[in-house]
Amino acid sequence: MLAQQVGVGAVIFHDLKNYRLNDIEFSLEDMLRFEGETGPYVMHEHHPY
């Protein structure tokens, strides 16, 4: 369940961070990385320990 939530969040984050007038190359591999400006990275850094 958690992996599904992270995956959905990654796709939504990727969609929102790109300028919508440009063509976007859909790369799930790039969306799920834990480095750079990606959804999983932002979720990991925001998580309170």
Give the tens place of pLDDT for each residue, 33-49. 888 888 888 887 876 66
Query: Which pLDDT score, from 0 to 100, does residue 7 have?
Result: 86
Residue 24: pLDDT band by 50, 70, 90 thresholds?
Answer: confident
Task: Count up the domains in the chain and report the number.
Answer: 1
pLDDT of residue 10: 87
Closest CA to 32 of 23, 41, 24: 41
CA–CA separation, 1 vs 4, rounded Å? 5
Going by C-alpha positions, the residue among 23, 11, 22 that lies closest to residue 43 is: 11
Residue 49 is predicted with a pLDDT of 62
pTM for the model stands at: 0.67
23 pLDDT higher than 80: no
Q: What domain range includes position 38?
A: 2-46
What is the pLDDT, as a whole number, of residue 36? 82
